[in-house]
Structure 1
Amino acid sequence: MIKRQTNLVLSPYIELYELIVPKDNLLRQMNELVDFTFIYDELANVYCQNNGRGAIDPVRMFKYLLLKSIFDISDVDVVERSKYDMSFKYFLGMAPEEEVIDASSLTKFRRLRLKDSNLLDLLINKTVEIALEQGIIKSESIIVDSTHTKARYNQKSPRENLVEYSKRLRKTVYAIDETMKEQFPPKVNNGLLEDELDYCQKLIAVIESTEAISSYPAVREKLNMLKELVEDDIERLSLLSKDTDAKVGHKTADTSFFGYKTHIAMTKERIITAAVVTSGEKHDGKQLQELAEKSKQAGIKVRGIIGDTAYSEKENITYAKNHNINLVSKLSKTVTHVKAGRTNPNDFEFNKDADRYVCKAGHMSFKKTSTRSKKHAKDGLGTVESYFFDVETCKTCTFKAGCYKEGAKTKSYSVTIKHHIHEEQAAFQESEFFKEESKERYKIEAKNSELKHRHGYDVASASGLSGMRLQGATTIFAVNLKRIITLMRDK
């Protein structure tokens, strides 16, 4: 049964908060800035309203997840810190002497209460609403880009993940006391998951029994991360060799990642106004219109969109023109590729970073050729570029029907290049306005870096698109609130 917590529990020690938690404390400022009761409305349908034992307050549970995102720590560590950190207890709405939850409750809350909720849009819209109320957002342009997040399993087997996490833990311990090597169990290298799991459990037991070592915060953090990996996935570890929702994406022709993309729209004031989470192979430009529409729904007036060349495809130029939006995105080959006669051109998408096409299955072409008729030798018109795919991969691809012809020795995808189209956009990108607006794009790259390096957004904290959306929701909510508080202080 859901129950609301409207006030702090009565306690003779409540006044301690006034003495210990200063007015400029980040968590105190967040509490004063946001009315978190909107969480009750969002989760009302997943709780019984009039029957059963009272559940832990959902706002408090949600705040625990926010603390995880703000400080990039594990379930165990966020609960442990809330035992003694008075700013945590104040933020959670607890009395100073109140007992904390069991860390396992956070796992259940994520899986049972937040599974089908649309927190990503809800939390972003909430922060944009606060920013607008405070008069912080004044610009009428959004900057768009994507950031990639590696899957938790990152194309590694469960055993390989255990090896990596145990190695990090040992390395941290050795930096403190190298003689601990003598107490650790012998490492296994037979490739068996069961033996590696047994080794990790023994390693954990040794470190936990040595209080002089386990009491170090750096060791405790790595220890809890390994324990969380083992405990959360122990039942499904033998079945889950990789994240089935994650896909291979490409940053360049030679570098790739296995995971997800978060496509982001942000104002010039660095407030994120919309986000779309996809698997890693999805094309950036295809998300522009959804990002713009979501930003409008959040209350932003979109008069301009600033992005790199990935967003200058023909459909986006047309969309911007129809909505009186200045699209500050340089033309690239994606807009000049003509796919005449194709019934399904979207099955192949151009990756501007790698300068290659990617098929529906996520496979990237490995080479390209360019040919042009003699009569167009000077004007460059009529150039045909052919992109070649690995035919052995095509033979076993699940999408080969209608794409690969049985018995064919090669598989290619050809496009015709025409140079003198999109004259209006080409002229616009030579204007002073375009050049000045383009200078704003660096801001979103800095925001992507903040998400990854300060809030753990470089690696997914759970598997699946739903888990990635939840991570995105809490992380962006926390980052937006921090930015709002900074801007309010500087006003």
Structure 2
Amino acid sequence: MSVQPQPWPQPDPQIVAAVRVMYSGRREAPLAVQVRDRLGELFPDAAFADGFGRAGKPGWSPGRLALVTVLQKATNLTDRQAADEVRENLSWKYALGLALEDPGFDHSVLSEFRSRVVAHGSEERVLDLLLERLRELGLVAAGGSQRTDSTHIVAAVRDLNRLELVGESVRAALNALAAACPDWVDQALVVEDWSRRYADRIDTWRLPSSKTKQDELALHYAKDGYTLLEALYAPVSPAWLRELPAVQTLRIVLVQNYTRTTGGGGRLRIRRRERAEDGGDGLPPGPIRLASPYDTDARWSAKRDLFWNGFKLHVSETCHPQADGDRPARPNIITNVATTASTLPDTKAPEPIHQALDRRHLLPARHYLDSGYPSADLIVASAKDYGIALVTPVLLDTSRQAKAQQGFAADDFTIDWDGKRAACPAGKISATWNDVVQEGVAKTVVAFAALDCIPCPVKEQCTSSRKGRRLSLYPRELTEAIRTARAQQQDGTWQRDYALRAGVEGAIRQATHTTGLRRARYRGLAKTHLDHTTSAAALNLIRLHAWWHGRPLDRTSHCHLARLQLRLVA
């Protein structure tokens, strides 16, 4: 498929006339019409040309396919439904500049378009182009305030327990080999026996209920897997078969879930890995442990009482304080979506988010985060590297004195960094000041003399040690940043300001309910991220449509019973 970048055609005069008649007076024009009228050629073909060849059969305009993908997400349509809208919906033809009789395209074109975008690393191109256009129009800008929160995303694969995972991995490898080189499968394996065991998918309801028999079956799956790998790595087998993704996945699943040892007499022993306190022969850590042979990026993760297999999504949006009933000067715009492994801690997300915002020239002056994100390093680095003030509750002092709110916590001590000494609340000066490294982290250990602490009348409020009080301090910048943040968040003004962060919950709810983001449509982190960026672009268009017409976003959704209750109450 080739692409020769061309400007989008103007809307067909017949379609223009029909749209103007249908939406005359006070009726709002549809989203697609408003986007074309107000934003023009939003996604030029040239921005996607690197993903398509210059020679060959001409393909559909990639810029217009990008707009179709965004409109598809705005109405939560399947590929087939979106292709039907292109053929039948006048407002979509208007936005795309199609003639009335244009037949559109086959729905499979959308899947091919997404694959090309992902293959060329252009997952964020659509959102970048939209934000650049909004920045030109003055609808979004650097500075101001933004807020970020995360939510869980369920992978587009079936949840598997460990027994099903191994069986399905063997089955997936067999199917891949049978499709890639059926002659090798016929020569190397007894097809009838393997087909009888792995023709149907491995389901819990088909498995034996006895724990003993399940353990036996797990070892049987493992032996089959190792037998298959030994046949593949035999000198007579084609080397390229070993490089098939499904074969490599099987190899990793076996390594992660089983050990092979040679016992007495040279007998090979296969044993399932179990959780081990010392880490020896135990299961690998969650971030690298495969959860499905069909999506090797998905991971099991837990957050409080939630347990899911998939990914994590971080949504960032602009936010503007406003009085009740006042129309904001700008709409709240989603400026970034970050799709990560579900096991990645939230503390690791802000730095890539700030890098993306910096690339788009949309860095905020104040960034509102919940308590799962901040650390002393992050607070200092954000201010130093990007000029961003993080507005976020930091973890309080967890010492015995701070928890009991009695006695002297570390924050009650006065630190003289230049003089390398500390003063306690009773006025005593520290005896030693040592810079050390504890568990790979640079710290300063400050100790007070036992002769000062033991006879002190307030010793019971300070320490239970038989010697003097000791303080373990982070470097100066980090310690001062944490102390300042803790002091600020005790103030009522800070609490009222921080309430602005709560609005991001509505953004996440809008994303999951409008575009169906809760469950991934595609497999793999890259395609899932593409789905998230196009969804963010769709949500921005929906917000702009509401803002253009001076109406608030409808973020509420009630079932029929709830609507009846509201009507009765009214």
TM-score, normalised relative to structure 2: 0.55
Report which stretch shifted further, 21-30 or 57-66. Answer: 21-30
Report which stretch shifted further, 56-65 or 129-138. Answer: 129-138
- In the alignment, the residues of structure 2 paired with residue 479 and residue 6 of structure 1 have an alpha-carbon distance, to the nearest angstrom, of 23
Deviation at 1:242, TM superposition (A): 3.8
Deviation at 1:277, TM superposition (A): 1.4
Please tell me whether residue 284 in structure 1 is matched to residue 346 in structure 2: yes
**Residue-by-residue CA offset, 1:96-140 (whole Å, 9 max, x unaligned):** 2211211111111211344223332x3333333344444444761
- Cα RMSD for the two superposed structures: 4.1
Deviation at 1:474, TM superposition (A): 0.7
**Pick aligned residue for 2:109 from 105, 126, 130:** 105
Please tell me whether residue 193 in structure 1 is matched to residue 200 in structure 2: yes
Q: Number of paired residues?
A: 361
1:260 is matched with: 311
2:500 is matched with: 440
Does the C-alpha gap of structure 1 residues 135 and 5 become closer, same or farther in structure 2, counting only changes over 3 Å? closer
**Residue-by-residue CA offset, 1:450-491 (whole Å, 9 max, x unaligned):** 110111110111000111111011100111122123233339
Aligned counterparts, 1:96-245, within 5 A: 96-120=100-124, 122-137=125-140, 140-156=144-160, 193=200, 241-245=293-297
**Residue-by-residue CA offset, 1:338-390 (whole Å, 9 max, x unaligned):** x9633499xxxxxxxxxxxxxxxxxxxxxxxxxxx9539xx9988xxxxxxxx
Aligned-partner residue type, residue 24 of structure 1: A
Deviation at 1:146, TM superposition (A): 1.3
Q: Is this contact kept in 2: 1:20–1:86, CA < 8 A?
A: no
- In the alignment, the residues of structure 2 paired with residue 320 and residue 47 of structure 1 have an alpha-carbon distance, to the nearest angstrom, of 38
Q: Is this contact kept in 2: 1:155–1:242, CA < 8 A?
A: no
1:65 is matched with: 69
SS in 2 for 1:119: coil
- In the alignment, the residues of structure 2 paired with residue 435 and residue 332 of structure 1 have an alpha-carbon distance, to the nearest angstrom, of 15
1:342 is matched with: 439
SS in 1 for 2:336: strand
Does the C-alpha gap of structure 1 residues 333 and 42 become closer, same or farther in structure 2, counting only changes over 3 Å? farther
**Residue-by-residue CA offset, 1:118-172 (whole Å, 9 max, x unaligned):** 332x333333334444444476121111122110115257999xxxxxxxxxxxx
2:86 is matched with: 82
2:8 is matched with: 6
Does the C-alpha gap of structure 1 residues 320 and 434 become closer, same or farther in structure 2, counting only changes over 3 Å? farther
- In the alignment, the residues of structure 1 paired with residue 523 and residue 471 of structure 2 have an alpha-carbon distance, to the nearest angstrom, of 47
Over the matched positions of the two proteins, sequence identity in percent amounts to 20
2:541 is matched with: 481
Please tell me whether residue 40 in structure 1 is matched to residue 45 in structure 2: yes
1:248 is matched with: 300
**Pick aligned residue for 1:271 from 296, 312, 333:** 333
**Pick aligned residue for 1:449 from 500, 509, 519:** 509
1:307 is matched with: 369
- In the alignment, the residues of structure 2 paired with residue 154 and residue 304 of structure 1 have an alpha-carbon distance, to the nearest angstrom, of 40
SS in 2 for 1:426: helix
- In the alignment, the residues of structure 2 paired with residue 429 and residue 333 of structure 1 have an alpha-carbon distance, to the nearest angstrom, of 10
Deviation at 1:320, TM superposition (A): 3.5
Aligned counterparts, 1:20-35, within 5 A: 20=22, 24-35=29-40
Aligned-partner residue type, residue 476 of structure 1: A
TM-score, normalised relative to structure 1: 0.63
Aligned-partner residue type, residue 96 of structure 1: L
- In the alignment, the residues of structure 2 paired with residue 329 and residue 481 of structure 1 have an alpha-carbon distance, to the nearest angstrom, of 29
- In the alignment, the residues of structure 1 paired with residue 302 and residue 535 of structure 2 have an alpha-carbon distance, to the nearest angstrom, of 24
Larger-Rg structure: 2
- In the alignment, the residues of structure 1 paired with residue 366 and residue 294 of structure 2 have an alpha-carbon distance, to the nearest angstrom, of 40
- In the alignment, the residues of structure 1 paired with residue 497 and residue 131 of structure 2 have an alpha-carbon distance, to the nearest angstrom, of 22
Q: Is this contact kept in 2: 1:310–1:332, CA < 8 A?
A: no
Aligned-partner residue type, residue 436 of structure 1: R
Runs of 4+ in 1 over 4 A off after TM superposition: 8-14, 156-160, 238-241, 333-336, 379-382
- In the alignment, the residues of structure 1 paired with residue 398 and residue 514 of structure 2 have an alpha-carbon distance, to the nearest angstrom, of 36
Q: Is this contact kept in 2: 1:153–1:241, CA < 8 A?
A: no
Q: Is this contact kept in 2: 1:308–1:329, CA < 8 A?
A: yes
2:99 is matched with: 95
- In the alignment, the residues of structure 2 paired with residue 88 and residue 21 of structure 1 have an alpha-carbon distance, to the nearest angstrom, of 14
SS in 2 for 1:193: coil
